[in-house]
Chain A
Amino acid sequence: MSLNDQLLVALSMYGLPVLFGASVINSIGIPIPDAILLIAAGSYIQIGDMNQWWVLGVSILGAVIGDQIGYAIGYWGGRPLVARLGRLIGSQKRVSDAEALARRWGGFGIFFSRWLLTQLEAAINLASGIAEYPYGRFLLWDITGEILWVAAYVIIGRIFSDRVQDVIQLLVNLFWVEVGLVGAVIFGWILFRNLRGRQRREAAGEEEQADFPGEKGL
């Protein structure tokens, strides 16, 4: 069984504690596909197996607690600890990028990383702690963003309650489409700059030849 299947089996067997645990772990920065659990939970709500308010409450609480752990690690542990944890959440550069994003966008950075740029979520938690971003504002933006994230997936699960496997398949495919798009943009941009550089060098070479036309013949 795949990891997705094992998580879904655990959700069917144990319910809310699995949702809570996955939300905490994912928010700390260990990648667990908690979106598929939320979609499945949405379907179970629709069928009558789970209570909507418990699902929303437990998932939001888990995600927010995970975010606070990340903030606390950044706040109390500071840069030395984050450098050691760098491998766990990606890389040191990722933390620096997130810190720059946190400084530049403040609350909006926190808000959007909860549900849109979710790859940056754990790094932004750490960066906000390191930068000593005001805790009250961090908590406010965090809770607002997590409510949106959890509610969106639960609603998707309720709408497509009889097609959970298809929606999961779609999410997996969308992940690879996203990887492909990022790759195409990065490779395309470097390729474009390289080709433009070559064209410039060639043009400069032709100009040189035009300035000294007789040189070759000599």
Chain B
Amino acid sequence: MERPRLSLIILALGFIISLALVVIFTIRGLHAVSRGPVGEPIRPWMSVPYIAHSYRVPPRVLFQALGLPGDRRDWRPIATIAREQNRPVQDVIQILYRTVLENNPAFIPPTPAIPRPSETAP
């Protein structure tokens, strides 16, 4: 019997890695769509009205939490709002998570790092 050549081993590795890609990203894709009641992560590109729509809270309360007049036509992304307010976008995201939690008890944050309001009480 012939010994397997290097090219054959490389081909087999390529095949296995390709299959692994299919399996890993299929699982990740299914995970992304089957999040259930858990909200999607707030990202810097999102605007306040979009976040309000996604998390089912009134836009007004989110604008107020950021110290902005509650104008539904303000479609600036939160990255721009953070820059204009001279603070890191992560701070703005944390404020929005907390405000959503206060106004929509059914909301489940996507990361365990965001404590519920009751958990922050001393």
Contact = CB atoms under 8 A, between A and B. Distances in A.
Contacts of B54: 162-164
Nearest to B40: A165
A191 B11 contact: yes
A132 to B, nearest CB: 39
Q: How large is the interface on A (under 10, 10 to 19, 20 to 34, 35 or more residues)?
A: 35 or more
A217 to B, nearest CB: 21
A68 to B, nearest CB: 31
Contacts of A173: 25-26, 28-29, 32
Contacts of A183: 14-15, 17-18, 21
Interface stretch (A81-89, A113-121, A143-151, A174-182): A174-182
Interface stretch (B42-50, B63-71, B94-102, B114-122): B42-50
Contacts of B15: 183-184, 187-188, 191
Contacts of A1: 44-45, 79
A163 B53 CA distance: 10
The 7 closest A-B pairs by CB, nearest first: A180-B21, A183-B18, A173-B29, A8-B45, A180-B22, A184-B18, A187-B15
27 contacts: A4-B45, A5-B79, A8-B43, A9-B80, A12-B47, A12-B75, A44-B50, A161-B53, A162-B54, A162-B56, A165-B46, A166-B35, A166-B40, A167-B33, A169-B28, A170-B33, A173-B26, A176-B24, A177-B25, A177-B26, A180-B18, A180-B21, A182-B18, A183-B18, A184-B15, A194-B11, A202-B1
Interface of A: 1, 4-6, 8-9, 11-13, 43-44, 46-47, 49, 161-167, 169-170, 173-174, 176-177, 179-184, 187-188, 190-191, 194-195, 198, 201-202
